Amino acid sequence: MSVQPMKFITVTGPIEQFDQVVRACIIDQQFHPESVLQSVHHNKKLRPLEGANPMASLLHQADELLSRLDLEPAFRPFPPEVDVEQVRGYLQGLKDQLDQMDAQIAKLRQDAVDDRSAVSQLENFAGLSLELSELRRLQHMVFRFGHMPQESYRSFKEALDKREDCFFFPTRTDADQVYGCYFALRSREETVDALFASMHFIPVSFNDEVNGTAQQAMEVLSHQARDDEAGAERLLEQERQLAQREGEQLLTYRAWLCREYEVLDMRRYAARSKETFYLMGWVPKGDAEQFVANVEAFGTLDYVVDDAEDAVMTPPTKLKNGILGRIFEPFLRMYGLPNYREYDPSTFMAITYCLFFGIMFGDVGQGALLILFGLFMAKKMKMWLGKIISCCGVSSVVFGFVYGSVFGFEEILPGFKILEGSNVLYLLLASLGLGVVLIGYVMILNIINGVRQRDFDKIVFGPNGLAGMVFYFGLIAAAVLTLLGVVNLFRVWYILPMIVLPLVLMLFREPLSKLAAGDKNWKPESLGGLLVGGFFELFETLLSFLTNTLSFLRVGAYAITHVALMLVVHALAGSGNIVVLVLGNLFVMGLESVMVCIQVLRLEFYELFGRFYQDSGREFRPKVVNYSTKLN
């Protein structure tokens, strides 16, 4: 439940050995690189080591070949030394082979499509018994196959019958089109074509190889289409065989390219002088000893190890959590990673999330179903949300025993019956009390973060520092004790130190924090501006104390809602309608579990995290080669 401590390590060595050093000491090690030039930008003697990464184009080509061969990227062992020209030649040869096969497949498929299209058109002229080749050899006449709308044909039919320079033969009629062909004198070709165009006649052309009658041509073309499709399938099978034959070699070369790409990519982080390279980065404290041993084993390198506190830049964040914290880590990442000098709230979030969920959705039977559903999502569907749902289901079962509720039946088990007597009031008051305790706890976390970051605003003067804690709990204690009649604390001797003084400290938090930190420019530019801005911030702070505390009423309110919904289900089921009971339980479980999940997440993010968590961390990203992901 913490952020792993880091060491800042600088490595230097001969420039000609840079790639070897990266392969031996950096790649696939726990080393998060930082840009040297950004870290020591004041050093004018250093210059970048960057250059074009020649492996990028080859890796893209290898990834493209994997896609074309329907192969998934994966790691394969590769030899220590590989000739890049051999890899380039292999990839180009495989690409040329695939290009040739794909071009043949595309041609065969297009020929098949053209043949099928011609067949579909010839079907409209199946009633024409003339030889197509003879029609092409006519010297004084031209002919056109095609179709026109029925409405146009009916309108012009009488006029067409009277013309002596052309005549039209209909072959087939469907819902709105008339198919056929017309003959025209070659001397009147343009005039007749213009006439039929005005009738919306759409001509259909056929390849010169289409001969015989329309029926005979259809048979020949159908046979050719089948042959073309079979030829395309044979080539596809050859490609599949090629994938089986060359897959391992391609994956081996690609794995080597992935490693080399990352090696050369390290150059954008490095810098060089005349003869020396410089590398800087972060290593987890627990891995620093092994990293240094690897550097020393290389023999020609120098290194410097600094503590994170002595480094200029903020270290990256690497979380170190138990099982429960790791399960809820995706929710934490939705909000943002903790800063290196912040408390990691993963486990705190996991515990409070399950606690809230169980109180709001306590039922033994429905909780057990949530456990099973979550396990199914996690195991079968590989969804991280499944583990969270299972944990929430466990909490639901635990509080189901507390409430004595099994699928809404409250007479089976003893327990705290929410709707009996004054239990509703007790539950709501307990929800408020839980909220007060947790708000106090996150204020303590905020103070701890302030100590780590040496931020006096967080430690003392902020609304979530000591001043805010004194005001918040002082006001609550006075209100509760006064209402219970124990003692009236709303007296001057109590109000001044416990309420007024904290408010004044929060009002002047900015200059006081600077003064405590030793900042010489602690005085505000304008006292009036400070008072006006501070007043509105103070008003917002007081409002947030009230709304955040009252928000925890929803914990008890949802528990009451759950019981009420199950009462409705049992009322609809009457004296034992199993179908209504089953469907009602499923409906309540589905609807309310989603709503409770969202409301609990809201409590975590707004009421708790907002008081101590800045989420300004950047993730620890070592140079580890990912062989299973294609290059973007």
Say whether both 324 and 208 belong to one domain: no
At residue 614, what is the residue type?
Q
Phi, psi (degrees; rounded to nearest 5) at 593: -65, -40
Q: Would you state the pLDDT for residue 116? A: 72
* CA 594 to chain CA mean position, Å: 20
Q: What is the number of domains present in the chain?
A: 2
Which element (helix H / strand E) includes 208?
none
Angstrom distances, CA of residue 467 to CA of 502, 514, 539, 550 = 5, 16, 15, 21
Say whether both 572 and 442 belong to one domain: yes
Q: 184, 212, 240 — which closes off a domain?
A: 212
Say whether both 326 and 197 belong to one domain: no
Residue 580 lies in a domain: yes
Residue 421 lies in a domain: yes
Say whether both 440 and 564 belong to one domain: yes
Q: 181, 212, 243 — which closes off a domain?
A: 212
Residue 481 lies in a domain: no
Residue 460 lies in a domain: no
Instruction: State the CATH number of the domain containing residue 175.
Output: 3.30.70.2750
- pTM, full prediction: 0.77
Using alpha carbons, select from 84, 59, 87 the residue that is nearest to residue 73: 59
Kind of pairing between the strands at 47-48 and 32-34: unpaired
Q: Would you state the pLDDT for residue 434? A: 96
For the chain, what's the residue count? 632
CB atoms within 10 A of CB 66: 19
Give the three-class secondary structure for 2: strand
Residue 47: strand pairing partners: 272
The list of the chain residues with pLDDT below 50 reads none
Could you identify the residue written with the tokens 């190890």?
305
Which element (helix H / strand E) includes 27?
none
Q: 212, 237, 260 — which closes off a domain?
A: 212
Phi, psi (degrees; rounded to nearest 5) at 144: -140, 130
- Residue 401 is part of which domain span? 320-454+517-611
Task: Report how far residue 385's alpha carbon sits from residue 496's, in angstroms, rounded to the nearest whole number.
Answer: 50
Q: Would you state the pLDDT for residue 251? A: 95
What is the 3-class SS of 259-299, one letter each residue?
HHHHHHHHHHCCEECCCEEEEEEEEEHHHHHHHHHHHHHHC
Say whether both 437 and 558 belong to one domain: yes
Q: Would you state the pLDDT for residue 413? A: 92
Angstrom distances, CA of residue 66 to CA of 63, 76, 98, 255, 391 = 5, 14, 11, 12, 40
Task: Report how far residue 187's alpha carbon sits from residue 140's, in angstroms, rounded to the nearest whole number.
Answer: 8
Structure token digits, residue 139: 């010297």
Residue 185: strand pairing partners: 141
Q: Would you state the pLDDT for residue 209? A: 59
Assess contact for 328 and 355: CB atoms under 8 A.
no
Residue 448 lies in a domain: yes
Using alpha carbons, select from 13, 10, 8, 39 the residue that is nearest to residue 272: 13
Q: Would you state the pLDDT for residue 161? A: 84
Task: Report how far residue 45's alpha carbon sits from residue 51's, in angstroms, rounded to the nearest whole number.
Answer: 18
Residue 71 lies in a domain: no
Question: Is 438 exposed, middle or buried, given 0-12, 13-18 or 19+ CB atoms closer than 10 A?
Answer: buried
Residue 255 lies in a domain: no
CB atoms within 10 A of CB 569: 19
Q: For CA atoms 565, 566, 568, 569, give the dihedral sign.
A: positive
Q: Would you state the pLDDT for residue 37? A: 87
Using alpha carbons, select from 82, 101, 88, 147 the residue that is nearest to residue 120: 147
Residue 225 lies in a domain: no
Phi and psi based region of residue 626 (left: phi greater than 0; alpha: psi -120 to 50; beta: remaining): beta
